[in-house]
Amino acid sequence: MQNEVPWVGVVWFSQAIPRHSFVMWLIVNRKLKTQDVMQAWSASGNANFNLMCCSLCTSGPDSHEHLFFECGYASEIWNEVKVKADMGEISNQWQAIFDYLVGIANSKKASHVIAKLLVSAAAYFVWDERNRRLFTTKRRSKAQLVDVIFSTVRLKLQTMRFRRSVQTERVLRDWSLPRGLILADDDNG
């Protein structure tokens, strides 16, 4: 049996959205089929990966580091998401984002759960948009993608219950959530 990895609470937590967790697991384990990974497979030399580029910003091949969140398109998404996640000081580099998340992985604070939900939703939808652009003619603007991320997380938050606190009041206000999501005092037991 293997030891538990320090990032388990970043990827697999009770409030997580399963498909987002799966993509996060792929990202953490560097298993996404980005162009840098596919280039390593090309022993035959039939494919010219030098001609391939990021479908989001078209400035170089996509890789884990580029796609999450150094790409110009993804960076603009991240800049909006990180403010809502109370991660304004975190840079647009996956390692910095990941290190922060590992530090809050087991926290039950609403703001930390929301940060994990937002990062995994952003990663999921950036990956989805990358694939949309590679395999279809459909495209979403940055504003549309940010709206999808926030709407998805807001819907998830509506299924949760929160303990009464000043922080909870702020979360409900910031996300325009009903006060009915606060546990009654006799439910806090």
Measure the CA angle with vertex 63, ends 135 and 154; round to 5°: 70
Q: Does residue 26 carry a pLDDT above 90?
A: yes
Q: Does residue 188 carry a pLDDT above 80?
A: no
**Per-residue model confidence (pLDDT) at position 41:** 66
pTM score, whole prediction: 0.89
DSSP summary character for residue 14: T
Average pLDDT over residues 133-151: 95
Average pLDDT over residues 134-143: 93
More confident residue, 134 or 25: 25
Which tens digits make up the pLDDT trace of 167-186?
Answer: 888 888 899 988 888 776 54
Main-chain phi, psi angles of 162, to 5 degrees: -125, 145
4 neighbors 18 (Cβ within 8 angstroms): no
Average pLDDT over residues 127-155: 95
Which range (12-26, 51-65, 75-89, 142-156) has the least confidence? Answer: 51-65
Chain-centroid distance of CA 101 in Å reads 11
